Structure 1
Amino acid sequence: MTQLTIKKTAVALALVGALAACDTGEKADKSGDSKVEATKTEFKDMHEKAAYSMGVQFSKQMSANFDSLKEYDITINKELVVKGMSDGFAGNAQFNDEEVKENINAFQNDLNEKIKQQQAELEAEAKKAAEENLKKGQEFQAEYAEKEGVTKTESGLMYRVIEDAEGTESPTAEDAVRVHYRGTFIDGKEFDSSYSRNKPIDFNLNGVIPGWTEGLQYMTVGDKYQFVIPADLAYGENDRAQIPGNSTLIFDVELLAINPTEPYKAPETEASVEEKVEAAAEAVEEKASEAAAEAKAELNELKDKAEEEVEEATADDQ
C-alpha cells in the first residue's frame, strides 16, 4: 500500500472520532452538497465574531474530511451534520447518547470494511506489479551478464568498469564515502541523480542498500562503475517512494573520496563560448557608454566656453 493511501486512511479514521459530535440520522430531502445563500448576520462584539469563525473553520476542516470519504463511496449529508449540531446544542437531539454511540460505531465498522477492501485490492495490484517487475528484471540481468566486461558476484550483483583510475585504496564497509551517481530503471528512466543537483553525497557504506555496500568496495577513488542491482540487493518487493517493488536498479557511480573531512566544493568550470561572447559584449557596451559620457561632457564644456566667449564679445561691443 502506498504512503498516500495510508495517509488517506488515517484521515478517514480520524474523521470517525470527529463525527461523534454529529447526528447521522434519517436522510434529508436535499443534497448535502447544495449551496444556500448566506444570511447576513450582524455581530455585536469580538466574541460573536469568534464564535462564528469557529463554525466556519470547523466546516472547512470537516468538508475536507468528508470529501476524502468519497473514494470509499461514502457521502456525508452536511445538512444533517448541521442539524445534528444545532439539535445537540439545543438539547433536543433525536438520538440519546447510547444511540449516538451505536450509530457512530456502525459507521466506523462500515468504513473499516471498505478500507480493508481497498487495501486488499491495492496489495493485490502491488503484488502483481512486483511479480512482473521481478520477471522483467531477471530477463534484463540475464542479458546484461552476457555483455563484455561485466562481472557477476556470488550475491548476484553485476558491475562493469566505465573508467579505471588505477588507484590502490578501496573503502571497507565501515568507511564513509563521497560519490556522484545516477540511478535508472531497466527501461532507462532516471529516478535519481546527484549529477543533476551538481552535488555528490556522503554516507556510511554500511548504511545503504546491500548492492551499494558490496559494489563500492570493489572501487578505488576516481573509478567510475556501473552497477546492476537485483531487487533483493536493493529495496526488495515493497514499493519505496518512486521505486516500485522488485525493481532491478542500474547505478552509474563515481567514487570521489573515502572518509572525506572537508565539505564538497564544486570545481570551477570554464565559461562556455556563449558566456564569453556575452561577457565581451557587456564589456564593449560598458566602454561605449563611458566614451559617450566623456564625449557629452567635452561637448558641454565646449558649449559653456563658447557661450562665455559670446557674452564677453557682446560686453566689449557695448
Structure 2
Amino acid sequence: MSAAPLLAQDGPPLESVDSRVSYGLGLQIGENLAQNDELEFDLDAFVQGIADVEAGADPRLDQETIVAAFEALNARASEAKLSENTEFLEENGAREDVTTTDSGLQYQVVEEGTGETPAETDTVTVHYEGRLLDETVFDSSIERGEPASFPVNGVIRGWQEALQLMKPGAKWEVWIPSELAYGPQGAGQAIGPNEVLNFTIELISIDS
C-alpha cells in the first residue's frame, strides 16, 4: 500500500464523538489496507467513492467492473504468494538437514522414533504447532497443553504423508506446500490463499 498523506500532521481537532468515531473508522480501514502488499492504494479514488455515496450520486463504476477489479487483485496476490512459496521451498529444500519427498513435502528430523509407522486408517496422538512462514502461530496443541488424537486420513494431505513416515517418539519439523494443505482457498481468517505451512509434529502414539 502506498499513498501520500491526506492531511497535515496536526489534522482536525477530533473533539466531538462523531469526529472521533470517524477517525477510528479511518484507522481500521487504514490498518486493513496496510496488510495488503499487492494494492497500490489510490487515496483519491477511495475518497471519491465515499463522496459519491454521501452525495447520493450514481456510482462511477458498475458492480461488474468492481467485482472484476477485486478478482484481478486477488489473482495478482495469489501469483505473488506462489512465487514467494516457490523461492522459499527451493532455498529450504537445499539445506542438508531437510528432506524433500516426491510430492514436495519437506521435513527435518529433530528426534527419531522407534517402532512401526502408522497406516492411513490408524488413529494417532500427537503434539504439534502450526505456523505461517512469518512465524505467526495459527494452531498449537502445545500451547493448549493437551495432545490431539485423530485419524491419519482425517487431516490435510501433507500431514497424512508426514505421519505415515514417522514412528512413535519422533519429532519433526515439516513444511507443507499449499497444494498439500489448503490451496488457493485458504482456511478461515488464519490461513490465507496458497500459504506454505510450517509444523512441529511430535508423534506420541499410534492408538489403533
Bucket of the pairwise TM-score, normalised by the shorter protein: 0.5 to 0.7
Offset of residue 249 of structure 1:
1.1
Give the aligned length.
155
Larger strand percent: 2
The answer to whether structure 1 residue 174 and structure 2 residue 121 are counterparts is yes
- Report the secondary structure of 1:218's partner residue: coil
- Where in structure 2 are the equivalents of 1:202-221 lying within 5 Å? 202-221=149-168
The answer to whether structure 1 residue 197 and structure 2 residue 165 are counterparts is no
Within 2, Cα distance between the matches of 1:173 and 1:218?
A: 11
Change (3 A) 1:168 1:246: same
Within 1, Cα distance between the matches of 2:173 and 2:91?
A: 15
What TM-score, normalized to structure 2?
0.66
Q: What letter matches 2:147 in structure 1? A: P
**Match of 1:250?**
198
The answer to whether structure 1 residue 135 and structure 2 residue 83 are counterparts is yes
**Residue among 92, 100, 116 paired with 1:152:** 100
Q: Percentage identity across aligned positions?
A: 40
Question: Unaligned 5+ residue runs, structure 1?
Answer: 1-69, 78-109, 261-318
Change (3 A) 1:121 1:220: same
- Where in structure 2 are the equivalents of 1:1-318 lying within 5 Å? 114=63, 116-165=64-113, 167-241=114-188, 242-259=190-207
Within 2, Cα distance between the matches of 1:149 and 1:117?
A: 49
Within 2, Cα distance between the matches of 1:225 and 1:74?
A: 54
Offset of residue 209 of structure 1:
0.9
Q: Is the 8 A contact 1:126 1:245 kept in 2?
A: no
Quote the RMSD (CA, aligned, Å).
2.5
- Report the secondary structure of 2:74's partner residue: helix
Question: Unaligned 5+ residue runs, structure 2?
Answer: 1-48
Q: Deviations over 1:86-130 (max 9, x none)?
A: xxxxxxxxxxxxxxxxxxxxxxxx9xx63x555433332222222
Q: What letter matches 2:86 in structure 1? A: Q
Within 1, Cα distance between the matches of 2:67 and 2:171?
A: 43
- Report the secondary structure of 1:252's partner residue: strand
- Report the secondary structure of 1:181's partner residue: strand
Q: Is the 8 A contact 1:134 1:248 kept in 2?
A: no
- Report the secondary structure of 1:213's partner residue: helix
Offset of residue 142 of structure 1:
0.8
**Match of 1:89?**
none
Q: What letter matches 1:243 in structure 2? A: I
Q: What letter matches 2:175 in structure 1? A: V
Change (3 A) 1:186 1:240: same
Q: What letter matches 1:259 in structure 2? A: D
Within 1, Cα distance between the matches of 2:167 and 2:66?
A: 49
What TM-score, normalized to structure 1?
0.45
Within 2, Cα distance between the matches of 1:137 and 1:186?
A: 9
Within 1, Cα distance between the matches of 2:80 and 2:151?
A: 32
Offset of residue 200 of structure 1:
1.9
Q: What letter matches 1:178 in structure 2? A: T
Within 2, Cα distance between the matches of 1:239 and 1:201?
A: 22
Q: What letter matches 1:210 in structure 2? A: R
Q: Deviations over 1:257-311 (max 9, x none)?
A: 2126xxxxxxxxxxxxxxxxxxxxxxxxxxxxxxxxxxxxxxxxxxxxxxxxxxx
Q: Deviations over 1:158-217 (max 9, x none)?
A: 11101113x112111111111111111122222221111112222111121110000111
Change (3 A) 1:121 1:207: farther
Within 2, Cα distance between the matches of 1:150 and 1:240?
A: 26
